[in-house]
Structures are given as C-alpha cells and as structure tokens.
C-alpha cells in the first residue's frame, strides 16, 4: 500500500478586520422551498441521495467562510451525509434548518449558475449583494442570461461556441452580480469578455484516502453524462480489466472507489473544472481526458492528466500507458502531488476570505459598468420580471386551490355537524317518546295492580290513580305491594 497520504495542513490565516461582523454570507444550493422573491429554505435531507460535484464545492465554500468566523447560511436541499463530512473535517459549519426569507441589506448571496430565474430575481431586486458562482460555463447547466429559460443543452452535442458566450458574462455583470469561479478557464473566458471573474479555485478539508494496490486497468463512471462515450472507449481496449463505478449514494468523494484502477477513462467534452478527474488524481488514478473543453485549461487539469484530442486517441493512449509501467508510476506521483496542491485547504480559505472582502456593494455599481453590459442587463431584466410574474401566478393558483380545498373541508364539516344535529334531535325525540311509553306502561300496570289489590282487600275497585305514586301510602297496601307498584317494569315477567 502507498503511504503518500494527503492530510490538510493546519490553518494559519490572516483575518480582515471587521469582515466577519459586516457580512452575512448566504450560500444557495439547489432545491429548497421558497416563495416569490425569497431565498430558499435550508432543508437538511437524509433522503437526497445524490448531489453534483458543483454542489459539493458550494458546501466547501460555506465551510471555508464558517472557518473564518463569518456568519454563514447554507440554503437549499442539503445532503446530510456530505454536509457532515465536510463540516466535521473543517471544524466549522454554516447555519442550516432555516425558513425561507427575503434577501436583506447586509447579505452577500452566492447563487450557483444552475439556479432558477426566480432566485436570481430575488437577489437582483433586493438590497443584498449578489454573486454568481460559475461552476460551469453560462448556458450549459443553467440560464445564459440572454433569452428565455430553456432546458439545458446536451453537453455531448451542443456547439462549443453556444455556451459561455461573452454576452452572457456581460449581462450578469450588467445586472450587478459579481462573478466567482473555481475554474481558470472560466476566469479567462470572462476576461475575454472584459468582465472581471474572481477565481477562488477549490479546496477540501477532507483527508485523501490511502492508495491501495491497483487491481484494475481502467475505471469508468456509470452514473455520469459521459458514461456512453467512456463505455465505447473501454470496449475498444482488448484484454483490459474495467472497474465500473456504480451510483454511490451519500458520498463526498469517489476517490476511494476509483483508487483500485490505474487509469480513469474521462471523455469530458464540455464542462467546467472536472471534480471527478481531481478525485481520481488524489487516488493515484491517472485521468485520460479530452482536450476539447475550452473552459478547463491546463491550470485546471494541472499535472498528472493525459490529454488527447478525440475518443480514438483516448483508447490508443490508454493502451500505450498500460504498456509502460514506468510512465504510469511517474504520472501517478505527479497526479497525487497536483491534486494535493489543488485542494490545499488553508490556501482555499484565504482565497474565499479575499473574495468576500473584495466583492463590491452592487448598489449603484451597475451604472458604472459598460453600456453594452447595461443594455444586455435590461433585456435580462425582462426575463427576470417574467419569472417573478410566473411565480406569483403559481402562488395565486396554490392559494385558489387551497381555498377550494378549505371550502370543501368546511362544507363537509358543516354537513357532518348538521347530520349529527339531526341525529341528536332524532335521538332526543325517540328518548322522549320512549319515556312517555314507559310512563304509560307503568301507569297501566299500576292501575291493573291497584284494581287487583282493591278487589282482594276491599271487594271493590278504587278510582283510577293518575300514577303509581298515588298508591304509595294507601291504607292497606303493604310494602311488598308498594315495591311491586313502584317497579312494574323491572322484570319483564311481571
């Protein structure tokens, strides 16, 4: 077993005076209940099994800010297992379990590029400062800020020049959002559009796994958008053992699952910085990847990744590497070292601190930005307004549905109560009638008994009593006779 195990170094960071007390950082992930113009509720969920690598990066961002002593809220639908892994390793945690609310002055709200338009609108129309965290090129996994919201394109077929367009960066900047990213390639794309994008990189407080003896030649990820291409490459490798990584719920990293393989087949055509390739390098598994992604440059891949131009070359290069153990050993060492540098936790926390401190208050900032940005922002603002209108309409529809439901419940309750009242009245009427019949029966029985007693004692019939009580105390009527008269219906045999 290899012993070059990475353990994050202890933090030794400067703290910018007043920053922690002046800012409340709100990091939004996907999901979470929210109303119009609201931030999502913070819902720690045991049932959400899988989250994207980008969302894991947002957990790390929130944990890094918490380490700095900043008041941090993590909002959205949160995977408990991954959250606990990150925060336990960091030694600090953002606040969770919070209801939805409006953004407020003093909030610095970080929204992922894959967020819904309504969340962008909630931040844009508030007094909060807003940041879009570009974990992928604009328009690939979220809105491009240039037209109506559309389904995400297929990264395997979409033309490369149709995502991450310069005008997308300009529109976001014109709306007053600051832009952060973890990918040098996306930072450079922003620079080409004359829009500043702050690179915060990546970082992890979690220790790398021990590297086991390699038992498989190549690994492919089955629950991934690139699975079909990776599978076709693996099929073109005769005599090669393939480690297939199935869907693994509730895990922070796939590094330990990738570790038994020598190579990772990674035909990623278009995305941001690849977290899976980084996890493979941390386990000493060498990624063989496509060079076609303009948003992940050499600095994002770093050392230890072998880049090729197409799938045919990917298969050929994998076979060449597997036939050269010395080259694999050298490449493995560089891969592990580069992954350690890339996730250095103290360096990442320091970059987060600097980014928070440098983010400008966007009140009034849009007017100082280029007119081209403001013109694009005006168009984008129309779509944000439409999104708010739809959300309000949906809320009104929900209220109408709720009102109709409550009316139905009330009508059912009223009908039930009326039915109960009628049944009660009927029962009372029946009880009254029964009491009258019992009284009449007792009276008739008393009269019959009185006649019988009078004939036995006096040889004549008395006048009819009005009730059996009239017999009580009558001269000549004994106590047993009185008891018989008083309880004529106690025994049905009488």
Q: Is 108 exposed, middle or buried, given 0-12, 13-18 or 19+ CB atoms closer than 10 A?
A: buried
Residue 233 scores a pLDDT above 90: yes
Residue 226's nearest CA partner among 53, 56, 59 is: 53
pTM of the model: 0.77
Question: pLDDT tens for residues 445-487?
Answer: 777 777 777 777 666 655 555 454 554 555 554 555 555 545 5
- Compute the half-sphere exposure of residue 65: CA atoms within 13 Å on the CB side of its CA: 28
Place 214 in a pLDDT band, splitting at 50, 70 and 90. very high
pLDDT at 221: 94
pLDDT at 65: 97
69: region left, alpha or beta (phi > 0 left; psi from -120 to 50 alpha): left
Share of the chain above pLDDT 90, in %: 56
Mean pLDDT of 232-237: 93
Per the model's pLDDT, the better-predicted residue between 367 and 421 turns out to be: 421
Gap between the Cα atoms of 243 and 288, Å rounded: 15
Gap between the Cα atoms of 373 and 376, Å rounded: 5
pLDDT at 494: 40
On whether the CB atoms of residues 247 and 51 are closer than 8 A, the answer is no
Residue 438's nearest CA partner among 490, 473, 482 is: 490
Gap between the Cα atoms of 350 and 356, Å rounded: 10
Span of 2-6, 119-123, 280-284, 335-339 with lowest mean pLDDT:
2-6
Per the model's pLDDT, the better-predicted residue between 180 and 12 turns out to be: 180
Question: pLDDT tens for residues 398-434?
Answer: 666 666 777 777 777 777 777 887 888 888 888 788 8
């Amino acid at each position: 077993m290899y012993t070059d195990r990475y353990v994050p170094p202890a933090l030794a960071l400067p703290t910018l005076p007043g920053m922690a007390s002046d800012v409340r950082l709100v990091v939004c992930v996907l999901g979470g209940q929210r109303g119009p113009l609201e931030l999502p509720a913070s819902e720690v969920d045991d049932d959400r099994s899988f989250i994207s690598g980008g969302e894991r990066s947002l957990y790390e961002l929130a944990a890094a800010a918490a380490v700095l002593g900043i008041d941090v809220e993590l909002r959205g639908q949160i995977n408990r297992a991954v959250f606990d892994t990150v925060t336990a390793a960091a030694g600090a945690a953002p606040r969770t379990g919070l209801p939805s609310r409006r953004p407020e002055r003093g909030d610095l709200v970080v929204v992922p590029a894959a967020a819904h338009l309504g969340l962008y609108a909630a931040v844009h129309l508030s007094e909060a400062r807003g940041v879009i965290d570009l974990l992928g090129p604009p328009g690939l996994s979220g809105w491009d800020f240039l037209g109506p919201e559309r389904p995400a394109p297929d990264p395997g077929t979409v033309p490369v020049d149709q995502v991450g367009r310069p005008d997308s960066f300009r529109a976001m900047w014109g709306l007053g959002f600051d832009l952060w990213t973890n990918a040098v390639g996306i930072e450079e794309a922003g620079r080409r559009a004359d829009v500043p994008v702050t690179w915060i990189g990546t970082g992890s407080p979690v220790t790398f796994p021990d590297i086991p003896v390699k038992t498989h030649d190549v690994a492919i990820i089955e629950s991934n958008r690139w699975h079909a291409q990776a599978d076709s490459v693996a099929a073109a490798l005769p005599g090669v053992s393939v480690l297939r990584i199935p869907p693994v719920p509730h895990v922070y990293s796939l590094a330990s699952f990738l570790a038994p393989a020598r190579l990772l087949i990674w035909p990623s055509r278009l995305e941001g910085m690849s977290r899976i390739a980084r996890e493979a390098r941390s386990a000493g598994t060498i990624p063989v990847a496509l060079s076609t992604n303009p948003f992940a440059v050499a600095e994002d891949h770093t050392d230890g990744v072998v880049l090729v131009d197409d799938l045919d070359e990917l298969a050929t290069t994998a076979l060449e590497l597997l036939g050269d153990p010395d080259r694999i050993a050298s490449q493995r060492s560089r891969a592990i070292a580069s992954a350690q540098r890339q996730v250095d936790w103290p360096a990442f926390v320091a970059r987060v601190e600097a980014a928070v401190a440098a983010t400008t208050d966007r009140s009034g900032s849009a007017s100082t930005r280029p007119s081209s940005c403001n013109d694009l922002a005006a168009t984008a603002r129309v779509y944000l307004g439409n999104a708010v209108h739809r959300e309000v309409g949906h809320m009104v529809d929900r209220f109408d549905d709720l009102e109709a439901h409550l009316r139905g419940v009330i009508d059912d309750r009223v009908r039930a109560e009326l039915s109960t009242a009628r049944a009660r009245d009927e029962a009372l009427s029946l009880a009254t009638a029964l009491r009258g019949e019992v009284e009449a029966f007792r009276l008739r029985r008393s009269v019959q008994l009185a006649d019988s007693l009078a004939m036995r004692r006096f040889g004549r019939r008395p006048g009819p009593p009005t009730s059996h009580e009239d017999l009580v105390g009558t001269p000549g009527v004994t106590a047993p006779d009185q008891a018989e008269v008083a309880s004529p219906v106690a025994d049905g045999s009488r």
